[in-house]
Amino acid sequence: LIFPCTTPGVSEPHNSGTVLAMASDAATTAAAHSLHAQPRRGCILIVDDERQVAEAAADILTTDNWETVIANSGADGLALFDEQLARINFVLLDLSMPEMSGEETLVRLRLLDPNVKVVVSSGYDATDAYSRLKETDILGFIQKPYTMDVLIAAFREYHVAFQHTGRAASSADAQPNAG
């Protein structure tokens, strides 16, 4: 799978991409063991109605030591976010979903947490996506299809930028709610 990405104000690399291939069981086991040796960077909720896209994004981010949670609809994403608010640091949100659009999901996420860190993903170009979102504040936009390298780089950048704000700190630092 090849996935390009754009960030507001940053030129998109021309003809760049990474092919995501299925790893052997031995490679997957070795990667899993190395992940346990390091604390997770944090937790990303991936909300995308295309199950294969969500799972591919989760696999990519997991290889970079992120914990991921997948929701295949806006309603499921809201429920998971509400249940796991204390541990979710970022949301990767598909803009075009049936039943509840990405725009509506984003508005409802903001009702649950006005400071939620959201990165929008869509097949639309950035200009169209931002016009659909109007005044909504998001961290960035990742255009589908996006590359493995760009997805990882984007979330590493966001993690570094917000690591001292509490919400984007490593999930290992989060304390469970009492009661």
Does 133 fall in a domain? Answer: yes
Residue 44 CB neighbour total at 10 angstroms: 26
Report which of 177, 171, 174 is spatially closest to residue 39, judged by C-alpha positions.
171
**What is the domain count for the chain?**
1
Q: Dihedral sign, CA of 143, 79, 81, 87? A: negative
CATH classification of the domain holding 56: 3.40.50.2300
> Is residue 15 included in any domain, yes or no?
no
Q: Which residues, other chains included, contact 120 with Cβ-Cβ below 8 Å and sequence gap of 6+?
A: 93, 94, 95, 102, 106, 129, 133, 138, 140, 141, 142
pLDDT of residue 38: 66
pLDDT reported for residue 174: 34
String of DSSP letters for 22-69:
PPPHHHHHHHHHHHHHS----EEEEE-S-HHHHHHHHHHHHHTT-EEE
State the pLDDT at residue 130. 74
In a domain, 173, yes or no: no
Does some domain include residue 12? no
Does residue 17 fall inside a structural domain?
Answer: no
Q: Is residue 136 part of a domain?
A: yes
pLDDT digits (tens, 9 = 90+) for 3-49: 444 444 444 343 333 333 334 344 444 455 444 556 678 999 999 99
Residue in 91, 79, 106, 78 with CA at minimum distance from that of residue 142 = 91
pLDDT in tens, 59-79: 999 999 999 999 999 999 999
Q: What domain range includes position 138?
A: 40-166
Per residue in 97-140, pLDDT (tens digit) is 999 999 999 999 999 999 999 999 988 887 777 777 766 778 88
pLDDT score, position 139: 84
Determine, yes or no, domain membership for 113.
Answer: yes
Let me know if residue 65 belongs to a domain. Answer: yes
What secondary structure letter does DSSP report for 147? -
Backbone angles phi, psi at 121, to 5 degrees: -125, 140
